[in-house]
Structure 1
Amino acid sequence: CWEPGDAVGCFDKQYEHKGRCCNRCQPGEKLVSECNDTGETVCARCESGHYQQSWTKERHCAPHDICEDNAGLIVKTQGNATHNTVCQCRAGMHCSDTSCQTCVENQPCQRGFGFVAAKAMAQMSSPCEPCAEGTFSNVSSKTEPCHPWTSCEAKGLVVKVEGTNTSDVICESSRRSSLSVLIPITAAVVTCLVGICIYCLVHT
């Protein structure tokens, strides 16, 4: 943490003042008075709404950023004496540029596309992405992501209708699935037997 003019003999958490090595103020504090022949450096806690995140000899703490409601911003992480406030856009909005001082409304993601929240914090265009294989979105929304298909197997069921990027899988019980196969086969067998019986009756 050396600064131009600091004495070479001072430690990194000190600074040179009138030929002496004075202690820097710790994070969360600001300088009140320099060290001298009669005492050490005097520091004070940063006032409310201000912070200092490094060892310093500054007499003022920096003010926290303000998350302006009319800019579409809300507080993500509240600032304290050592860290600045972190803002983010409200749901349904994304940063207007990389500095993210203001937010703009998302364009709705159409069916088959999902909203990606992580991209909304950094991109200037509405972050819609096509739903990947195994996921779907059946609504037009500014906030809804793609949702995974239902796992029929996890529910002890079998797939009746495969999912798409706009629709979920439709499940049914394995018993019903078996019946749906057996019934046509049984019907075919019965039809054949009836046909044979009729043939025999006609030719006897």
Structure 2
Amino acid sequence: MSCVYFVLTALVLLVLCGAGLAMDAHSYRRTDPVTGQQLLCDKCPPGTRMRAHCTISRQTECAPCGAGLYTEFWNYIAYCLRCDACSDHQRVVQPCNGTVNTVCECEAGFFWDQHFCRRHSACKPGHGVKAPGTPHRDTVCELCADGHYANIMQTHAACVTHSACKADEQLVLPGSRWHDNVCATCDHPIQKGTSSKK
């Protein structure tokens, strides 16, 4: 059994190495169209493309990628790749530079959702922001617990504890999940959104 395993291993290595032509990440094998001989060719470095395959007499010819094009890895492709353009509500984090594609990120107030940027969700009344939205994640909302509220007049308000009335104030309207306690004195009634009158 071990003898058969050894023979199979030797055959696999012979095929993979092209009868002595060992490949690595910077080379590739091809058959010369004229002689039929197996050749070990150099790949082109990042930022370039293959202009011509290697032959028996010369190595691979490479050409630099032009403006708006790139190759990120060692390659033997005939054409460079086109740089991506950022879409609506995106900003460029890293411009395409010939060896790296454009890196885009959603603008402030938006997050990446599958194929485009969506606006961060606004929390519903009675819900506060548990985690603010990022360019990669939507806003996470939570239902305010008893005794807590989120100010619905603020877009990204967190749940906070109801305010306690001062010693000289009376509770006029108990707080809910979407508004604070409303307190007032006998001399100066307080009404939210209006000024008090004497």
Q: Is the 8 A contact 2:129 2:139 kept in 1?
A: no
Q: Is the 8 A contact 1:113 1:128 kept in 2?
A: yes
Q: Taking structure 1 as reference, are residues 44 and 38 closer, same or farther at Cα in structure 2, changes over 3 Å only?
A: same
User: Quick one: which of 59, 75, 87 aligns to 2:78?
Assistant: 59
Q: Taking structure 1 as reference, are residues 67 and 109 closer, same or farther at Cα in structure 2, changes over 3 Å only?
A: same
Pairwise mapping of residues 128-143 of structure 1 onto structure 2 (< 5 A)?
A: 128-130=140-142, 140-141=154-155
Is 1:87 matched with 2:104?
yes
Query: SS at the partner of 2:160?
Result: coil
Q: Is the 8 A contact 1:64 1:84 kept in 2?
A: yes
Q: CA deviation at 1:40?
A: 1.4
**Aligned residues, how many?**
135
- Per-residue CA deviations over 1:143-193 (Å, capped at 9, x if unaligned) read x586xxxxxxxxxxxxxxxxxx437xxxxxxxxxxxxxxxxxxxxxxxxxx
User: Quick one: which of 121, 137, 151 aligns to 2:136?
Assistant: 121
Q: Counterpart of 1:36?
A: 55
> 1:48 and 1:77 mapped to 2: Cα distance?
15
Pairwise mapping of residues 167-178 of structure 1 onto structure 2 (< 5 A)?
A: none
Pairwise mapping of residues 1-204 of structure 1 onto structure 2 (< 5 A)?
A: 8=18, 9-12=21-24, 13-17=26-30, 18=32, 19-69=38-88, 72-95=89-112, 97-98=113-114, 101-109=115-123, 112-113=128-129, 115-118=131-134, 120-122=135-137, 126-130=138-142, 140-141=154-155, 165-166=159-160
- Which structure's CA Rg is the greater one? 1
Which amino acid in the other structure matches residue 132 of structure 2?
V
Could you tell me the TM-score, scaled by structure 2's length?
A: 0.54
**Structure 1: runs of 5+ lacking an equivalent:** 132-136, 147-164, 168-204
The Cα RMSD (Å) is 3.5
Q: CA deviation at 1:63?
A: 1.1
Which amino acid in the other structure matches residue 63 of structure 1?
R
Task: Calculate percent identity across the aligned residue pairs.
Answer: 26
Could you tell me the TM-score, scaled by structure 1's length?
A: 0.53
Structure in which a larger fraction of residues adopt helix:
1
Q: Taking structure 1 as reference, are residues 7 and 61 closer, same or farther at Cα in structure 2, changes over 3 Å only?
A: farther
Q: Is the 8 A contact 2:45 2:73 kept in 1?
A: yes
Q: CA deviation at 1:140?
A: 2.5
Which amino acid in the other structure matches residue 56 of structure 1?
N
> 2:71 and 2:95 mapped to 1: Cα distance?
14
